[in-house]
């Protein structure tokens, strides 16, 4: 029996499977990633149906116990619920602030469900310390968990979002994202790469440094599609886990 885990972000959908978390000394947090694919908000239902065929090819090999979903656009919940009742005969569980009992949350309205999942996974897996989760996705989000409580954070434009904004508003060329060898360079493409990536890196390092002044034992976790780019360039991030949201979903629904 496995749980089907689905993370519907701002621009991508990730799916994975994992066994239920059992309350013992060494629970299994390993997630098998099934797929990751982009979607368009304007054609979400069409994209979801199309890509579910690939997911179903994997899921059909297993007996699905529960379906857990973190979705940022709540308007699609009815469609998703009806879809899984029809196709897998299972009512999905949607993660929200009321689903969680693993941590306390001190945050006003509007907290993203993906950040809740990140916080729960971080608290469960990396215990007995203060944690800063940096999610390098469409937005770069910072979430602090202190004394088993999500106390807040900050949101900034993501790496690819910054690049797209720059390219769309100038005559600069589109480029692939990779750190150039040097910070200062003598060609436009490397200037763009350096500007976008080092801006994000230096911002993350400064935030970490400032938060460590208040929380000296701070444990920093990077996640999200662009986390690896930054993780390789700094010594201030303790660990990278690109499946943190999926792990959080599994912990919450188990």
User: Which of the residues are catalytic?
Assistant: 114
Residue 3 φ/ψ, nearest 5 degrees: -100, 135
Q: What is the spatial distance between Cα 186 and Cα 23, in angstroms, rounded to a whole number?
A: 56
Say whether 57 sits in a helix, a strand or coil: helix
Under 8 Å between Cβ of 182 and 194: yes
Q: Per the structure block, which two tokens stand in for 51?
A: 């890509």
Q: What single-letter DSSP state applies at residue 43?
A: G
- 77-88 and 44-59 are packed helices; what angle lies between their axes, rounded to 10 degrees? 30
Cα 119 to chain centroid distance, Å, stands at 10
Q: Per the structure block, which two tokens stand in for 183?
A: 């910070």
What is the number of other CB atoms lying within 10 angstroms of the CB of residue 75? Answer: 9
Under 8 Å between Cβ of 212 and 218: yes
Task: Give, rounded to a whole angstrom, the gap between the first and last alpha carbons of the chain.
Answer: 12
């Amino acid at each position: 029996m496995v749980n089907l885990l689905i993370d519907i972000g701002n621009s991508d959908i990730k799916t994975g499977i994992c066994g239920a978390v059992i309350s013992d000394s060494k629970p299994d947090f390993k997630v098998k990633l099934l797929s990751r694919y982009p979607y368009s908000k304007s054609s979400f239902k069409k994209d979801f149906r199309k890509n579910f065929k690939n997911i179903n090819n994997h899921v059909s090999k297993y007996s699905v116990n529960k379906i857990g979903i973190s979705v940022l656009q709540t308007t699609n919940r009815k469609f998703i619920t009806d879809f899984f009742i029809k196709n897998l005969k299972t009512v999905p569980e949607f993660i929200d602030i009321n689903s969680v009992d693993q941590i306390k949350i001190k945050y006003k309205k509007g907290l993203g469900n993906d950040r809740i999942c990140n916080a729960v996974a971080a608290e469960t897996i990396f215990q007995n310390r203060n944690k800063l989760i940096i999610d390098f996705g469409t937005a770069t989000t910072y979430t602090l968990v202190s004394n088993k409580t999500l106390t807040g954070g900050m949101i900034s434009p993501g790496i690819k979002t910054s690049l797209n904004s720059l390219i769309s508003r100038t005559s600069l060329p589109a480029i692939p994202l990779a750190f150039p060898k040097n910070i200062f360079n003598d060609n436009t493409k490397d200037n763009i790469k350096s500007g976008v990536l080092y801006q994000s890196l230096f911002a993350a390092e400064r935030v970490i440094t400032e938060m460590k002044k208040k929380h000296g034992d701070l444990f920093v976790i990077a996640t999200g599609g662009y986390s690896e780019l930054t993780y390789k360039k700094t010594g201030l991030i303790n660990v990278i886990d690109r499946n943190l949201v999926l792990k959080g979903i599994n912990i919450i629904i188990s």
